């Protein structure tokens, strides 16, 4: 598996953080909702106590009793027969805006719809008959059947009846049946023809709470009704008039907080009080939000949707309905309005059988669906996602850098192991940059070592070819001659060639032994100036034919290394200098301090080096000697280079105006304490 894939899989483990965070969020949301439900239940108990006090004088509607429910109006409607000022009225949507719709089984397929409303001391009744045209009352023929509305009032054992029989569209009043001319002006209204039927809008004195009220719409029909008078009837039997109680609603408004709603229900579910307060939190304008706030709101909405996905399914609650089935409402639990907003709902029964329903929007609760805590968690989610993306990007970037380094290293070596080139320079200052630079340094050294081996094999082949050829030719000539003088000459030539071969092998062995000894040589801190001065003095005494001198400090040049090896290095340089210095020529051994390094150099008068050999002069089997010195192996300067590199230094050769200077740079060491 590639490192990139490993980093990717390791980064995916960070997904455990949002998963654990989600589990924490869900548990916290459940705990907060439970706490909110307990607080809301306590508040419902207090509100129920005050509601019970307000309802002491209001009779309870027993379950199963007939009820006519009347809306509570904020202003009286205009009695014009049209009803467009009634709440929820829509003439084009038949039946949906009405409290009750009754299809009548007659030949016309007529339909009766109605709704009732209360304003102060009056009851308003809107009745609509669809599917037939009205037949009006004819005073000249009172026995002819016609359309009419019968009103019934029952208070205890006393029953009162009123009759509305319009003679034409327009204003209408009620009369007492059987008493012509006895008009009841307390009941007024308007009869209006509408599309596909007619409509009557009535204002009636509000019945007493203990009385019952009913109405019936009749018109001529081909099928006899239960009355047996050839009329078709539809309407509502006398029943209790139920409406909301303004005094109780005002009391509830003072006891609920913003974002809460309260209902008081009769035992059968009829709403007698409803009060809701909208949330006081104002949503800021979209244009006023910063990009970060917009992103935060998007994440908050996503968090809300995720939390609601794991929440229990809320029960649908029609908060505008006139009747609620208390058995289907959770206690406590979540409900959802038709506009989609979730609420926490609790129920509190009253002593008389009524029920108080109290709810609160989750936006107002200290829950994750709210804005305060939800915003904090949404920001945390954004931060975690941002960190995940940053880590994934950083892992991909590291993988790309490692892959690039791998390709660069692979491109520098061919299939046969030959070094083709160097690595591109690395500018990064981190560990990967250091690794790239180490690889580059390793490739450069490997390239140099490969070149050294190739040149070594060529030079060794060249050095061995001549003595081997001399030995072969001498042996062949020796086999073809019997002259003792010639035989002695050929034998001498073969002996000289074998001596040359012995010198080559001895030089190679010396270099090999030196390389092995370098691996085991122990380093110590010593004064290089003292060693160089003493050694140069010995050279001067042993070689009176040259002027050998030392230039530099007598002491105080501390060096970490092997004094024996550095003396051997100086021996090779001075021996090389004597070979190229004419008699009585000057050879100078110089030591200087140079920016944390020690510069050891040997100068000799004489001919300069060829320009093409200033760098190759330190390779094996390279020599510029001529004449008597032509048989030299060229291994001395190779030993000089090996000793210099062992001490962490380097050696160079430069031509000067009157000779050649070999310079060795080695690191200086801190002097020993007390030295």
User: What's 162's domain CATH number?
Assistant: 2.60.40.1190
Instruction: Give a yes or no: residue 526 inside a domain.
Output: yes
Give me the CATH number covering residue 608.
3.30.565.10
Based on the domain organization, do 234 and 361 belong to the same domain? Answer: no
The pTM of this model reads 0.56
pLDDT surpasses 90 at 588 = yes
In the chain, how many domains are there? 4
Based on the domain organization, do 236 and 256 belong to the same domain? Answer: no
Instruction: Give a yes or no: residue 510 inside a domain.
Output: yes
Q: Which pairs with CB-CB distance under 8 Å and at least 24 residues apart come from 395-404?
A: 395/4, 395/7, 395/8, 395/10, 395/11, 396/4, 396/7, 396/8, 398/7, 398/432, 399/2, 399/3, 399/4, 399/7, 400/4, 401/428, 401/432, 402/3, 402/432, 403/4
pLDDT surpasses 60 at 96 = no
Based on the domain organization, do 259 and 235 belong to the same domain? Answer: no
Which segments of 520-626 are extended strands (E)? 524-527, 547-551, 558-561, 586-594, 597-605
Measured CA to CA, the distance from residue 238 to residue 130 in angstroms comes to 23
User: Predicted confidence band at 456 (pLDDT cuts at 50, 70, 90)?
Assistant: low
In this structure, of 86-95, 160-169, 307-316, 394-403, the range with the lowest mean pLDDT score is: 86-95
pLDDT surpasses 50 at 670 = yes
pLDDT at 187 (0 to 100):
95
Measured CA to CA, the distance from residue 123 to residue 151 in angstroms comes to 12
Instruction: Give a yes or no: residue 159 inside a domain.
Output: yes
Q: What is the pLDDT of residues 597-631, one digit of tens each?
A: 999 999 999 878 876 554 557 665 555 444 444 44
Q: What is the pLDDT of residues 337-366, one digit of tens each?
A: 877 778 889 999 998 899 999 998 876 554
Based on the domain organization, do 231 and 256 belong to the same domain? Answer: no
Based on the domain organization, do 662 and 587 belong to the same domain? Answer: yes
- Determine the average pLDDT of the residues in 655-667: 90
Instruction: Give a yes or no: residue 173 inside a domain.
Output: yes
User: Which comes out higher in pLDDT, residue 53 or 457?
Assistant: 53
pLDDT at 616 (0 to 100):
58
pLDDT at 591 (0 to 100):
93
In this structure, of 205-219, 341-355, 461-475, 532-546, the range with the lowest mean pLDDT score is: 461-475
- Give the end of a domain, one of 196, 221, 244: 244
Most confident of 71-75, 185-189, 467-471, 472-476: 185-189
Mean residue pLDDT across the chain: 81
User: Predicted confidence band at 514 (pLDDT cuts at 50, 70, 90)?
Assistant: low
User: Which comes out higher in pLDDT, residue 364 or 376?
Assistant: 376
In this structure, of 416-420, 430-434, 570-574, 643-647, the range with the lowest mean pLDDT score is: 416-420
**Taking a C-beta distance cutoff of 8 angstroms, is the pair 425, 440 a contact?**
yes
User: Which comes out higher in pLDDT, residue 288 or 329?
Assistant: 329
- Give the end of a domain, one of 224, 244, 264: 244
- Give the end of a domain, one of 244, 266, 295: 244
Domain around 502: 417-517
DSSP 89-122: --TTSTTTSSSEEEE--STT--EEEEEEEEETTE
Based on the domain organization, do 175 and 206 belong to the same domain? Answer: yes
- Determine the average pLDDT of the residues in 319-343: 84
Other C-beta atoms lying within 10 Å of the C-beta of residue 137: 17
pLDDT at 296 (0 to 100):
65
Based on the domain organization, do 506 and 635 belong to the same domain? Answer: no
Based on the domain organization, do 122 and 206 belong to the same domain? Answer: yes
Q: What is the pLDDT of residues 210-254, one digit of tens each?
A: 899 999 999 887 544 444 456 777 888 899 999 999 999 999 999
**Taking a C-beta distance cutoff of 8 angstroms, is the pair 135, 220 a contact?**
yes
Based on the domain organization, do 310 and 459 belong to the same domain? Answer: no
In this structure, of 59-73, 202-216, 431-445, the range with the lowest mean pLDDT score is: 431-445
pLDDT surpasses 50 at 90 = yes
User: Which comes out higher in pLDDT, residue 673 or 428?
Assistant: 428
pLDDT at 87 (0 to 100):
78
Instruction: Give a yes or no: residue 385 inside a domain.
Output: no
Residue 551's SS3 state is strand
Based on the domain organization, do 506 and 530 belong to the same domain? Answer: no
pLDDT surpasses 80 at 183 = yes
Q: Which of 433, 4, 449 is nearest to 424 (CA)?
A: 433
Give me the CATH number covering residue 487.
1.10.287
Cα–Cα distances (Å) from 581 to 198, 536, 588, 626, in that order, read 141, 16, 11, 13
Instruction: Give a yes or no: residue 398 inside a domain.
Output: no
pLDDT at 106 (0 to 100):
63
pLDDT at 665 (0 to 100):
92
User: Predicted confidence band at 164 (pLDDT cuts at 50, 70, 90)?
Assistant: very high
Instruction: Give a yes or no: residue 388 inside a domain.
Output: no
Which segments of 277-341 are extended strands (E)? 315-316, 333-336
Looking up tokens 């200087």 gives: 592
pLDDT at 107 (0 to 100):
62
Instruction: Give a yes or no: residue 404 inside a domain.
Output: no
Based on the domain organization, do 513 and 442 belong to the same domain? Answer: yes
In this structure, of 238-252, 352-366, 403-417, 451-465, the range with the lowest mean pLDDT score is: 451-465
Based on the domain organization, do 545 and 631 belong to the same domain? Answer: yes
Instruction: State how beta strands 111-119 and 100-103 pair.
Output: antiparallel
């Amino acid at each position: 598996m590639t490192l990139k894939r490993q980093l990717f899989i390791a980064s995916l483990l960070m997904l455990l953080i949002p998963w654990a965070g989600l589990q924490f969020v869900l548990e916290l949301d459940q705990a907060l909702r439970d706490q909110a439900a307990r607080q809301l239940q306590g508040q419902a108990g207090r509100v129920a106590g005050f509601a019970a006090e307000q309802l002491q004088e209001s009779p309870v509607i027993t379950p199963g009793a007939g009820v006519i429910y009347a809306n509570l109006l904020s202003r009286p409607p205009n009695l014009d027969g049209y009803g467009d000022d009634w709440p929820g009225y829509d003439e084009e949507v038949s039946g949906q805006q009405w409290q009750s719709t009754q299809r009548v089984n007659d030949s016309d397929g007529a339909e009766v719809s109605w709704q009732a409303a209360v304003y102060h001391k009056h009851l308003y009744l809107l009745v609509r008959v669809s599917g037939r045209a009205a037949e009006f009352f004819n005073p000249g023929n009172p026995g002819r059947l016609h359309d009419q509305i019968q009103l019934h009032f029952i208070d205890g054992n006393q029953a009162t009846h009123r009759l509305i029989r319009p003679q034409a569209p327009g204003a209408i009043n009620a009369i007492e049946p059987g008493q012509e001319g006895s008009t009841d002006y307390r009941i007024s209204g308007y009869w209006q023809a509408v599309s596909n039927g007619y409509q009557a809008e009535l204002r009636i004195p509000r019945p007493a709470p203990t009385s019952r009220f009913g109405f019936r719409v009749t018109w001529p029909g081909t099928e006899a009704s239960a009355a047996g008078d050839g009329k078709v009837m539809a309407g509502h039997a006398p029943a209790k008039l139920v409406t909301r109680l303004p005094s109780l609603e005002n009391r509830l408004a003072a006891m609920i907080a913003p974002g809460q709603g309260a209902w008081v229900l009769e035992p059968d579910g009829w709403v007698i009080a409803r009060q809701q307060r909208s949330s006081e939190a104002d949503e800021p304008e979209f244009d006023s939000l910063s990009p970060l706030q917009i992103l935060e709101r998007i994440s908050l909405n996503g968090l809300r949707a995720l939390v609601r996905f794991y929440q229990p399914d809320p029960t649908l609650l029609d908060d505008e309905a006139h009747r609620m089935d208390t058995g289907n409402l959770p206690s406590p639990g979540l409900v959802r309005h038709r506009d989609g907003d979730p609420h926490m709902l609790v129920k509190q029964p009253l002593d008389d059988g009524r029920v108080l329903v109290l709810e609160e929007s989750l936006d107002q609760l200290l829950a994750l669906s709210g804005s305060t805590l939800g915003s904090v968690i949404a920001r945390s989610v954004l931060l975690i996602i941002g960190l995940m993306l940053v880590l994934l990007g950083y892992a991909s970037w590291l993988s790309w850098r490692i892959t690039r380094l791998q390709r660069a290293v692979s491109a520098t070596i061919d299939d046969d192991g030959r070094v083709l080139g160097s690595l591109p320079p690395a500018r990064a200052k981190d560990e990967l940059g250091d690794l790239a630079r180490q690889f580059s340094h390793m490739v450069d050294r490997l390239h140099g070592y490969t070149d050294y081996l190739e040149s070594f094999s060529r030079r060794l082949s060249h050095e061995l070819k001549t003595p081997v050829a001399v030995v072969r030719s001498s042996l062949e000539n020796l086999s073809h001659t019997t002259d003792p003088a010639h035989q002695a000459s050929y034998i001498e030539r073969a002996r000289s060639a074998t001596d040359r071969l012995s010198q080559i092998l001895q030089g190679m062995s010396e270099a090999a032994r030196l390389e092995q000894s370098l691996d085991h040589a122990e380093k110590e801190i010593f004064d290089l100036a003292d060693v160089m001065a003493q050694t140069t003095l010995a050279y001067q005494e042993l070689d009176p034919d040259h002027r050998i001198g030392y230039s530099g400090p007598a002491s105080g040049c501390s060096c970490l290394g092997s004094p024996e090896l550095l003396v051997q290095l100086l021996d090779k340089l001075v021996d090389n200098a004597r070979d190229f210095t004419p008699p009585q020529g000057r050879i100078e051994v110089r030591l200087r301090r140079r920016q944390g390094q020690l510069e050891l150099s040997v100068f000799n008068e004489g001919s300069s080096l060829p320009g093409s050999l200033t760098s190759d002069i330190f390779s094996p089997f390279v020599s510029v000697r001529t004449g008597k010195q032509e048989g030299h192996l060229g291994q001395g300067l190779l030993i000089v280079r090996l000793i210099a590199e062992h001490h962490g230094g380097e050696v160079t050769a430069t031509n000067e105006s009157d000779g050649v200077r070999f310079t060795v740079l080695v690191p200086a060491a801190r002097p020993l304490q007390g030295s």
